[in-house]
Structure 1
Amino acid sequence: MRLLYLSPLALLIPYSEAMANESSPFQKFDNNISAGIAVISSPGNYWASNLNANGQALFNNGVWLNLLAATKLSFNFDNNNNSSVSKTYNNSSASSFGLTGGYAFLIDGKYNVIPHVGFSYTNQLLAVNENSIQQFIIEDPAYNYSFGLKNEMILIPAKLKIALDLNFNIGDHQSVVPNSSDGSLGHYNYTLYTFTATPAIQWNFAEKFTIIGYYQFNYNFSNSMNSPNVNYPDIGVSSSQYLMNNYVQNALGVNFGVLF
């Protein structure tokens, strides 16, 4: 289902307590609390944005934890400039929160290779209306499990770092979608798989402040979403314009943070 991917930015960490002095260069980047905005797009003239906040803690024993929360800020969907769709009022909201943990392996004092796992919950809601009359509603709560590997490299000690995070996410969705044009709703469970690649750059522009910029590519696919395609002739659209099994999303984001 394509509603909104609340894209997280996960930044991971150094090695072991015994290697604390060698790991400290990454601790200067990865201990932070940040907040930011991301702009998301996908085919079909779909645009959205979200606000996010996260807190990261890097411990001397190499364990890293990241707590993330996000909420949808804005939403626009105009499928192939369909004038009927553009005249409707799409009321959409979404939120997510999650926890990710990993362990970092320090290489040559300036590289980190970090396997990590995570769990998150998302809930997304879309109501499509015309002339104050509700046409249909979609709700898409999901429990998500992620497995990933991140590579980090320091370019300028204590100042500049780049990273590439690769993730595979399994989403257990329990959706409420249109069952027919008479307003009845059906319940459909399906699994959505997402591959994510996130290159990022982090600049510590002051002793206690940092800025993080990132691009995120998401490929989503599912063969188990079998909800009906319901047509709405009054507005010239169908539910399939909002529901998709396989799709790509791109995101650009920036976070500002406080180092500790």
Structure 2
Amino acid sequence: MKRLVLDIGGTNTRICLVDENQSIVFKDRVSFTGDAEAFSKRLKENCFRILRSEDTDDFVGLSVAGAYLNRERRLWIPNLFGGTLVSPFDLLAIDNDSLFVTNDRISGSMGEMFVGAAKGCRDFLYISIGTGVGIGIVSDGHVVNGSNGFAGSVGWIRFNEERIEDLVGGIGVSSSYEELTGMRLSAAEIFDLAESGSSEAAEVIAVTAYYLGKLIACFTNSTNPEVIVLSGSIGSRWKLLEDRAMEVIYKETSPMITIPEMRLSSLGEDAQILGTSILMHHEISI
């Protein structure tokens, strides 16, 4: 029997079916256009259609870019709803006994730990950098959730009075390039230009790499991971970030700590979907 799993990201939502072998057999997308009511309506329609037309489990999984507040049973997805807390059960029109909810830091970490780049690792960081920045922390084989679901929500960490999300996230990269050149391009386009030899793009990427290195050094010192898995549209461009970031990491990491091995995600955007499905299986088994 297949399982319906959704991953609400900072821009796009993936709606998938996962089979008993933890393979994704169907994938669809819904983009957020700024209208929360229309977005919720589309999610409900898609869920209803799939649950009625497919041989699916009644237990639905949801992973979100932000946090699921355990005590309040509410979602916090700042890139979509600002500071408004949203009920996941109302958002999808699914009964609370039929919905499993987690955040993308935990689901991504679980996906990579069980079937991805961190398979076999018990102490690692899963760093996802796209529209925003989040870190999944796995210590001795256990994912750290925090007292109310916010562990690894690092976007508000500041360096030189600027939020790390604005320094290394996609919107920040675009803004930095626009300040330098007067042109507004996507982060992907800027990375492509840097790869092609553009000095302006390379300058922006060097600053991004510098602050990413500081963030990684900070969490390497505080969690002592053996591996760091990089994911997301920015994290996956590690090749262009590596030299400058590693300079900072070596400089700012304790000499008593072994520098962790840097790995690219082997699951990409599927890490959250598969990780949520794995967590659901574990929940049911218990």
Give TM-score scaled by structure 2 length: 0.27
Greater share of residues in strand: 1
Greater share of residues in helix: 2
Bigger radius of gyration:
1
